[in-house]
Amino acid sequence: MKIVDIRETTASIASPIANAYIDFSKMTCSVVAVVTDVVRDGKPVVGYGFNSNGRYGQGPLLRDRFIPRLKEADPDSLIDAEHGTIDPFAVWRTLMTNEKPGGHGERSVAVGVIDMAVWDAVAKIAEKPLYRLLAERFGEGAPDERVWVYAAGGYYYPDKGLSALQDELKSYLDRGYREVKMKIGAVPLAEDLKRIEAALAVVDGDGARLCVDANGRFDTATALAYADAMAPYGLKWYEEAGDPLDYALQAEVSARYPGAMATGENLFSMQDARNLIRYGGMNPETDWLQFDCALSYGLVEYLRTLQMLKDNGWSSRRVVPHGGHQLSLNIAAGLHLGGNESYPDVFQPFGGFADGTPVEDGYVGLPDVPGIGFEAKAALYAVMKPLGE
Ligand SMILES: O=C([O-])CC(=O)C(=O)O
Ligand SMILES: [Mg+2]
């Protein structure tokens, strides 16, 4: 058993939307195919991976460092003899050979893309959905059959007024979501409060069904001003108020804001996540953690992060990953996370879940197909398949 080829390409996920920090007019993502010599259903098993939105495609790092390292490795060193399959942990160690600790920048994205493809291959070799494999190997009991998902959108968009924002959010409710998320922080506070109130009207005035996301835009004073102004709304969460690595800011805002806070999508390693837990003042009873495996060294590292959270008294149910992709959905179901993000309209075809698994009352099921489930999402598989052939 061995990996016979690793291929990569860059796909566009550009759109005219903007959050408080960036626009997505030139956003890309890497797609990787890990081709094995294992045959299932008469065809070689191919695992696929891609990276989440927010960081760009990692073609140069993949081509210059990570793919060559894997190709140069002794195939026997990448085998998990106990389970008779490829060993994602050995792949990870090989990828990270001669990489210093710290500075978890873009390389965590490149490694995450390959890691996703390896787990897809491992589950296909085992001929089971990844969420079942994860529950069996690392879980605590049977996988969840459905996962809570919320609709993320509410972006700034040229000439988008309050009624367009409301129409967008309404359309998510029409598609089965109960909770929605919108952007804040790109316009003055007073204007954002009007947007928040317009959004609240769509969810029957129920703040517990609305999340807001500042994408790390605010300094401490602005983050606190928003905290004070938004406190009466009782929102589901206030996300990424300030710079993701400014744990003191997070702790100060957490101490003052009476509602739930969320952050973590731009923390790319177990160590960075641990610093948030140590120094960010986050509340394990009420707050939410949003680490995204597809940006942060993949599922191998995510398992370390989940263990770190457990060691610090955090339930896995407080974790709702960023990114809206199917790998996080599998992790959520298999390892009992609190839910998963979803982008019903943006970042297609990489965002979103399997065809034929409608969102109902805020929950989505997973397809019963081997691997992560990409083959059950036709528009996504159409992009991946040529790379595997
Ligand atoms: O706008 C983005 O970069 C995406 C984001 O923060 C989210 O999904 O929470
Ligand atoms: Mg966010």
pLDDT tens string 162-177: 999 999 999 999 999 9
Residues with Cβ < 8 Å from 68, sequence gap 6 or more? none
Cβ of 17 closer than 6 Å to ligand 1, yes or no, is no
State the CATH number of the domain containing residue 13: 3.30.390.10
Q: Are residues 93 and 149 in the same domain?
A: no
Domain final residue pick, 127, 151, 171: 127
Is 160 among the residues known to form the active site? no
What pLDDT, in 10s, does the model give residues 220-250? 999 999 999 999 999 999 999 999 999 999 9
Task: Report CA 337 to chain centroid distance, whole Å.
Answer: 12
Q: Which of 322, 325, 336, 377 is catalytic?
A: 322
Say whether 155 counts as a known binding-site residue. yes
Q: With a cut of 70, which residues of the chain have pLDDT below it? A: none
Ligand 1, atom 3: nearest CA belongs to which residue?
54
Among 21, 267, 322, 342, residue to substitute to test ligand 1 (most atoms within 8 Å of Cβ): 322
Could you tell me if 51 and 29 are in contact, meaning their C-beta atoms sit under 8 angstroms apart? yes
Q: Are residues 109 and 227 in the same domain?
A: no
CA distance 311 to 313: 6
Could you tell me if 337 and 144 are in contact, meaning their C-beta atoms sit under 8 angstroms apart? no
Q: What is the pTM of this model?
A: 0.98
* Ligand 1 nearest-atom number relative to CA 19: 1
Q: Is 85 among the domain residues?
A: yes
- Please report the pLDDT score of residue 13 as a whole number: 94
Cβ of 215 closer than 6 Å to ligand 1, yes or no, is yes
Q: Are residues 222 and 93 in the same domain?
A: no
Rg, the chain, Cα only:
20
- Please report the pLDDT score of residue 105 as a whole number: 83
Domain final residue pick, 108, 127, 146: 127
State the CATH number of the domain containing residue 285: 3.20.20.120
Domain final residue pick, 127, 162, 178: 127
Query: Among 131, 118, 48, which Cα is nearest to 85's?
Result: 118
CA distances from 131 to 148, 241, 254 (A): 15, 32, 33
Domain that holds residue 220: 137-388
Q: How far is the CA of 201 from the centre of ligand 2 (A)?
A: 22
Query: What ipTM was assigned to the predicted interfaces of this complex?
Result: 0.99
What pLDDT, in 10s, does the model give residues 102-149? 999 899 999 999 999 999 999 999 999 999 999 999 999 999 999 999
Say whether 100 counts as a known binding-site residue. yes
Q: Are residues 212 and 340 in the same domain?
A: yes
Q: Is 118 among the domain residues?
A: yes
Q: Are residues 20 and 158 in the same domain?
A: no
Instruction: Specify the number of domains making up the chain.
Output: 2
Bridge partners, residue 44, by sequence: 39
* Ligand 1 nearest-atom number relative to CA 155: 1
- Please report the pLDDT score of residue 365 as a whole number: 97
Q: Is 169 among the domain residues?
A: yes
